[in-house]
Structure 1
Amino acid sequence: MSLIKVTNLTFAYEGSYDTIFENVSFQIDTSWKLGFTGRNGRGKTTFLNLLLGKYPYSGHISAQVGFDYFPFHVAHSEWLTMDVVSDIDPDYEHWMLMRELTQLRVSEDVLYRPFDSLSQGEQTKVLLAALFLKDNRFLLIDEPTNHLDMEARELVSDYLKSKSGFILVSHDRVFLDNCIDHVLSINKTNIEIQRGNFSDWWVNKERQDNFELAENDKLKKDIKRLSEAAQRTNQWSHEVEKTKNGTRNSGSKVDKGYIGHKAAKMMKRSKSMEHRQQAAIEEKSGLLKNIETAESLKLAQLAYHARELAALDHVSLYYGERQVCSDVSFTVEQGDRIALSGKNGSGKSSILKLLVGEDIAHTGTLRKGSRLKISYVSQDTSQLRGSLTDFAREAEIDESLFKAILRKLDFARVQFEKDMSAFSGGQKKKVLIARSLCEQAHLHIWDEPLNFIDVLSRMQIEELLLEHAPTIVFVEHDRAFCDHIATKIVEL
């Protein structure tokens, strides 16, 4: 057991006007199972890279352990998997690797296959197994759940629960709750560490936010009351001071000493109120700095003239000679929120592409309503480059609405000036979702829309779908999201 100490860490990318971290200090126990959370673009991956020594920074990071990062870069994916593992850890022992693979339910035969022939889920498990072969290392695990189906996520979460000494970046609430014992959160103005799992952290955050909102409201009322009282008292002291040069109603001379004393007393009272008001203003300024805004999103889906929008009747899909899935039947009716479920490779994305209109070899019957307008969010964000303005124009959507939605999804205005290729994975996914929300459509089809997207934005999207109840067919492996959203589940 040892400590990783971060002291006065300050970092900004060269040539950038964004400061990612400024005078950040905290410490981590190397025995912790640490979940790392924060909105997209806040610097989670950047911080992991700073621990790895990839960028120069101001401040100090001290540690008595080395760091390893997941996912490893695989330079030769055509190699046999056992050779890929040897490249990661030349000194590994076979029995130790088999112990890890057994826990992850990966058979030994994958070691004798080319790494690029493995499924994405198998590749993830092999690389995680290789990660945990090394001693005296603190492990930096960056978004391992992407491309894992629900069953694989549960398995990997149980695997990590049996380990210790890592930072885990994930936005899957159920996954995090099962396998972490501390949360490291990048907030708007600082970094905090709390004991417990994600749900514990979220309850504490909501409690703190509600307390600060109530205190802020109370102080606003106090400031207004004190300001008005100080103005009245100040006005009275001036009025009393004026009477020093006047006379009483009886005609006798006024007692200037008494009146001066009374006016001074009122002025002192006024100054006291102003000091209390200033103190309240300063106290108020210390609140609300880390409250995350999650404004409601809107979706105006077009009404369709018929109840049924699409239907698959005993459909089987093929890629060349290989059958991807067989005998799939379901109907999409207005108001349905249909989740396609199944293991990776079971044909979920292919079914969505068939519905969208891509030319995929199939048997059986696909029926789609006439003049049906579909809005599609793809898994792939690699094509995103250029400006948001050009993207909105090419997509024929309202640029102002598009950028307003991105603002609600926590895009800073400075991001609007950047090339999309510089966006984080989560920010790119938000671009596709924002475009979809701007499009006029009868049916939304979303393929793993939450990959890389932060938890608060996931909650915003959940609220959107529950409030506006659009017709949607989607694939998503976030169990909490599916449990909240789906009205029907089609198991492949």
Structure 2
Amino acid sequence: MLLGLKNAHLRIANTVLLDAAEFTLVAGERVCLVGRNGAGKSTLMRVLAGEQNLDSGELIRAQGIKLARLQQDVPAAQAGSVYDVVADGLGEIGALMAEYHQIAHAAQPDLSRLAAVQARIEAHDAWNVESQVQAVVTRLDLPADTAFAALSGGQKRRVLLGRALVSSPDVLLLDEPTNHLDIPSIAALEDLLLDFSGALIFVSHDRAFVRRLASRICDLDRGRLSNWVGGWEAYLRGKAEALHAEAREQALFDKKLAQEEAWIRKGVEARRTRSAGRVKALLQMREQFSQRRNREGDVRLAVQEAERSGRLVAQLDAVSHGFDGRELIRRLSTTILRGDKIGIIGPNGAGKTTLLGILLGQLTPDSGSVRLGSKLEVAYFDQLRAALHDEEMTAIDAVGDGREFVEIDGNRRHVISYLQDFLFTPDRARVPVRVLSGGERARLMLAQLFSKPSNLLVLDEPTNDLDMETLDLLEEQLIQYQGTVLLVSHDREFLDNVVTRSLVFEGGGTVGDYVGGHADWLRQRPAPAPVAPSPPLRPSPTPAATPPAARPALDARQRRELDALPRRIEKLEDEQAALAARMNAPDFYAGERAAIAQVEARLLEIERELAMAYARWESLEALR
């Protein structure tokens, strides 16, 4: 075991975050930590990193273990170049290499100082560290000499990931690693982490990311940690079954408690015959009921719909627009009609927010024409949370805007009552925005958004910081919404579940228009142009020939392979489910260590085989 918790207890203020929690991590595991916003996932990561003390219990760490952590928030005061920040992950030796790099890359290097630093590096026999830092900088495609402070949020997170990876840790802790990353960067991060040889614990609400990486799901719910081996689907099934069993058990307990309470309140004659043991049991049941931690209610989302807009929402004809000498959009023509749900996809800086501005009539393009529809009532979710710019205002201020009541679907509701639909207690609704967590701020933005009637929803990265249950509810509301949706997101599964069309920035100002979501775009996008073959060394004239018949998209061998893949995938998934059930048995970890390791290794191998099989299936299907 590399890392673990034994009977861990932790309370912060009035909230119990860990309640007799147990956890183990073995080499090669990739564990995703899930739970509702505010459940304590980031705090647990700090505990595992040794940065937060437990009230009681034990943190177990293997001797000599190297551990690195990527925190959720980017530090505001981080100074130095990209190279400096990455090298900082190596401690004192890294700082020495950063100093050498600064001097060597200066316009006029101080040669005497450079020689002194070189001597110190040689004294530590640390020249190999330079190659470690350079390898990470190259692998993550980082601008080594750029000031860290000048980078975008997504670039900063990649640099901080480099700082965590440079020491080749045994255990890597990542808290929301995909926040602020675009889809290509997320895919590259997945490949990097699949190649990572150490153990991984990560917090993420990106379901596609979790599906591809996690070998085990660890759920933090009301202070308790529960484990599901076998990936995301196994967790969804197991969690639903566990909640159903808990609800049934609590209903039986409550029924028996009510019966005993009725018995104890009977008349005088009954009291004379009361059993002392039965009274004692009732007192114990009362104590058990008082100590119960009931599951917090679900967020209740309801989008208010305004009067229908005109059939036409927006029409673009040969629209082009650039910024700072760079062409972002080239001759885009498209029509958006009432009820369309449009995904806008592209890397960071491609021009997605610019396109939103043009579609909403807030920005005049350099050329081309824009025609907007009638009766548009727009509700806008801004990824920068600009509506919460005043960090001293409360949730009540943000939604009520000085009013005690809001009008929701024709019903007058008190602001606090409405905020409770978004899991804000009365006390929490009165605290300043600056003390709210990222998840609470995201829910507050949704509360603001849905408090106003609309027929055009504009959502710019709405999924950041939302827990998975809230994401599911938001998806459901957007699918049922009768108005028009413009959605910018890097969450691939969210896009696939919600949008009916995608406008995709494909480079060089080209914006492709595709039916469906992200996965549909991957299937439909043009194949890269083939590389022209080199001319022969001794060209000779050849007789004219009739063009060969068009080759079928799939040859016989490929068709046989495609036909066999579903059976292979089914067989692998059956074996995966059987191994997961075996590992979830209470006595599994009491067995021989070699047998346990063999099962764990086979499970990881199955995941790799499944990933390859699905990728091959998708590539062959694309050739049909």
Same topology, TM > 0.5: yes
Residue 425 to residue 462, structure 1, CA distance change in 2 (3 Å) = same
When normalised by structure 2's length, the TM-score is 0.63
Map 1:325-364 to 2 at 5 A: 325-359=329-363, 362-364=366-368
Task: Say if 1:286 and 1:490 are closer, same or farther in 2 by CA, change over 3 A.
Answer: farther
User: Could you give the per-residue CA deviations for residues 303-341 of structure 1, whole angstroms, max 9, x where no partner exists?
Assistant: 234111222333233333333233333333222211111
1:414 matched to 2:418: no
- Asked whether the equivalents of residues 7 and 61 of structure 1 are also in contact (C-alpha less than 8 Å), the reply is no
Q: For 1:38, give the aligned amino acid.
A: G
Aligned counterpart, 2:564: none
* CA contact 1:158–1:178 (8 Å) conserved in 2: no
Distance in 1, Cα, partners of 2:179 & 2:49 = 22
Counterpart for residue 61 of structure 1: 59
1:171 is paired with a residue whose SS is: coil
**1:185 has 2:219 as partner:** yes
1:43-81 C-alpha deviation (Å, 9 max, x unpaired): 2223333445555652253434354331564755662x3
Question: Among 21, 41, 44, which residue is 1:44 paired with?
Answer: 41
1-side partners of 2:59 and 2:210: how far apart?
26
- The answer on 1:70 being equivalent to 2:74 is no
**Among 14, 18, 28, the residue aligned to 1:18:** 14
Matched, 1:393 2:400: yes
Q: Give the Å deviation of 1:477.
A: 1.5
Give the 3 Å change call, closer, same or farther, for CA 186–288 of structure 1 in structure 2.
Answer: same
Q: Distance in 1 between matches of 2:277 and 2:9?
A: 40
SS for the counterpart of 1:294 is coil
Q: Write the deviation string for residues 341-368 of structure 1: whole angstroms up to 9, x where unpaired.
A: 1222221122223344544654322222
Name the counterpart of 2:308: 304
SS in structure 2 opposite 1:462?
helix
Give CA deviations for 1:355-389 in whole Å, capped at 9, x if unaligned: 44544654322222345221101011262521122
Deviation at 1:396, TM superposition (A): 7.2
Change (3 A) 1:188 1:122: same
SS at match of 1:93: helix
Residues 420, 435 of structure 1: alpha-carbon distance in 2 compared, 3 angstrom cutoff: same
Q: Distance in 1 between matches of 2:312 and 2:444?
A: 30
Question: What is the deviation of 1:420?
Answer: 0.8
SS at match of 1:86: helix
1:255 is matched with which residue? Answer: none
Partner Cα distance (2:15, 2:53) in 1: 13
- 1:39 is paired with a residue whose SS is coil
- Describe how 1:1-400 pairs up with structure 2 within 5 A: 1-12=1-12, 17-21=13-17, 23-29=19-25, 31=27, 32-54=29-51, 58-59=55-56, 60-63=58-61, 64=63, 65=65, 67-71=67-71, 73=75, 75=77, 79=81, 81-89=82-90, 90=94, 93-97=129-133, 99-100=135-136, 104=140, 106=141, 110-115=143-148, 120-136=153-169, 138-163=171-196, 164-217=198-251, 285=289, 289=293, 291=295, 293-294=297-298, 296-359=300-363, 362-381=366-385, 383-385=389-391, 386-394=393-401, 398-399=405-406, 400=413
Q: Secondary structure at the match of 2:380?
A: strand
Indicate the residue corresponding to 1:249 in structure 2.
none
Unaligned 5+ segments in structure 2 are 98-127, 407-412, 506-624
Task: Tell me how far apart the structure 1 counterparts of residues 14 and 332 of structure 2 sit (CA, whole Å).
Answer: 49
Deviations 1:157-205 (A, max 9, x none): 2322232323211101110121122223221242334434233222211
TM-score, with normalisation over the residues of structure 1? 0.78
Contact 1:296 1:464 in 2 (8 A): no
Q: Distance in 2 between matches of 1:175 and 1:456?
A: 16
Q: For residue 215 of structure 1, report the CA deviation from its aligned partner.
A: 3.8
Q: Which moved more, 1:390-399 or 1:405-414?
A: 390-399
Give the number of aligned pairs.
454
Amino acid at match of 2:179: N
Distance of 1:210 and 1:437 partners within structure 2: 31
1:39, distance to aligned residue in structure 2 (A): 1.4
The match for 1:245 is none
The question of whether the paired residues in 2 share the 8 Å contact of 1:222 and 1:277 is answered with no
Against the structure 1 CA distance between its residues 152 and 54, is the aligned structure 2 distance closer, same or farther, given a 3 Å change threshold? same
> Contact 1:185/1:193 (CA < 8 Å) preserved in 2?
yes
Q: Is the 8 A contact 1:85 1:127 kept in 2?
A: yes
Query: Does the residue aligned with 1:310 lie in a helix, a strand or coil?
Result: strand
Deviations 1:415-473 (A, max 9, x none): 11211111111211111111111112221101000111111110111122223343211
SS of alignment partner, residue 21 of structure 1: strand
What code does the residue aligned with 1:427 have?
Answer: E
In the TM superposition, residue 221 of structure 1 has moved relative to its aligned partner by: 6.0
Determine the C-alpha separation between the residues in 2 that align with 1:45 and 1:138: 16
Amino acid at match of 1:35: C
Structure 1 vs Structure 2 CA RMSD = 3.8
Q: Is there any run of 5+ residues in structure 1 with no aligned partner, and where?
A: 239-262
